[in-house]
Chain A
């Protein structure tokens, strides 16, 4: 691999042992993918926080040891300097305020707080959400990023036209200290053209419909690059957030184009780089129904737990839930958790949305989600969610039955304790 003089110096330890360890990992990783060089990045979003029980024995050795082992893959414990470039913490394991409701152990909460103090001091911005683009990290077109979190990566590449691969805990840790990431995959313009044409034959408008379309697209194209044609209703951030999260869950989609809507394609010809699609697929009434059925893993209509906000809710989603709950009370056997970034929670509080949700008996969670934390209220057997991603993962992870439906289906289930959405 070709390294610049500055990169060679870092590798040789001229700028300290932490940067040398970071460069060592980037070179091993770059060679593994077959990259010819590294590229500069000033936008890293990773997972740095120590909040899971499985890393406790490393936390006992100090946070430099945690970063060295888990974020640099270094055998040697190196002293971690300030982050070299803009760096963000993604979603984490514990809600700093609602940890008791999550059933988290107090010592683990303390460990997360200590970890955040350590990381904050080194310049890791604690946005603590799977949607950094909702709370101030909005990369611009063409910007080279090093991001984890599949739903954030697909949004970053497709909607914004910035450039990132799906990075991991170790590569983002190394990128944050060096400002470098392998120049491979989606960093190269020639790898960003569409491969599969999706003819959308029915109107796709609300958030649930965008989730169903995303689930179909991911299942069909796996890791390929779909291009959507004939979109009749212009989507917004919330709808594309759900579409991308679903496509990245059922498949491994990291980039898509919607000509005239997403950043890099004004026309079908541009989306395919003036080449031809390898395959054309149709999405119609039948496919929509198949996806709807696939996302239902429940048979029992009595619902214990409603999960909203995956990916984390925007302020208008919080407003809608507050509106649906105003003057109502959720069923005494049912729990409702609504997830949103902490910065948006503050706005929701100012607007009175938080009060409306809490007055109805719901909880507004930040920093985490049940799939990441693996924490839900005790004794949950049947869940309902408005998220195709959560409906895909949570039943498998937590061994529960899952219903998938619209926001109002889910809020109605919270109020009545029964799934009354379509089966």
Chain B
């Protein structure tokens, strides 16, 4: 992955390419964290929120958001907990991640939301919380509309 300085303007659109893990198209507001997320013990599967006490997203909802994070950590119950967020109607709209593991892959598959990884550019350089993100996993593209100027 190559990283480059970003001088994006509000309203500007950026497209980055990657590999589909789960196909489909979805859009929503971005929720971004550089910290891995725990399933079992890390999220509330009824509310779609992060509950891990030392996590930077603690208390925040990922329901209906395009969640950008490095990947999964912790217990093998990861997939089961994200599976339950789908059954409870509070799953993310799409998942973008950078570290592939069996927990992450299975979790994305059973959450059944468009999911992508193996990006040609570092998504953390281009996507900030609050940006509008369209995930087209069928075409292998993520289209980002910046909500404000990034520093």
Contact = CB atoms under 8 A, between A and B. Distances in A.
A168 B106 contact: yes
Interface string A371-396: 10000000000000000000001001
Interface in B35-77: 41, 45-46, 52-54, 73-77
Interface stretch (A25-33, A118-126, A271-279): A25-33
Interface in A34-53: 34, 47
Interface stretch (B2-10, B80-88, B119-127, B140-148): B80-88
A168 B107 contact: yes
A32 B76 contact: no
Nearest to A251: B73
A168 B101 contact: no
The range of chain A's interface size is: 20 to 34
Contact of A396 (B21, B22, B41, B99): B41
Name the residue in B52, B74, B75, B105 with the highest tally of chain A Cβ atoms < 10 Å from its Cβ.
B105
6 contacts: A32-B109, A54-B46, A148-B76, A166-B76, A170-B83, A396-B54
Given A252-B101, A396-B52, A168 B79 contact: yes
B22 A32 contact: yes
B109 A165 contact: no
A409 interface: no
Contact of A170 (B22, B79, B115): B79
B139 interface: no
Given A166-B101, A223-B101, A171 B52 contact: no
Nearest 7 A-B pairs (CB), nearest first?
A168-B79, A32-B105, A148-B76, A165-B102, A169-B80, A33-B105, A73-B110
A397 interface: yes
Given A32-B106, A33-B102, A168 B76 contact: yes
Interface string A157-196: 0000000011111110000000000001100000000000
A153 B76 contact: yes
A25 B79 contact: no
Contacts of B22: 28, 32
Interface of B: 21-22, 41, 45-46, 52-54, 73-80, 83-84, 87, 99-103, 105-110, 112, 115
A93 B69 CA distance: 30
Nearest to B107: A168
Given A29-B106, A54-B45, A168-B103, 10 more contacts: A28-B109, A32-B108, A32-B109, A32-B115, A33-B105, A69-B87, A167-B102, A167-B106, A169-B77, A371-B41
A177 B110 CA distance: 18
A148 B74 CA distance: 12
B83 A169 contact: yes
Contacts of A25: 109-110
B73 to A, nearest CB: 6
Contacts of A47: 77, 80
A69 B83 CA distance: 9
Nearest to B115: A32
B79 A169 contact: yes
A115 B63 CA distance: 31
A70 interface: yes
A166 B41 CA distance: 17
Contacts of B105: 29, 32-33
A167 B76 contact: yes
A32 B79 CA distance: 13
A170 B83 CA distance: 9
A79 B76 CA distance: 26
Nearest to A184: B102
A164 to B, nearest CB: 9
A79 to B, nearest CB: 21
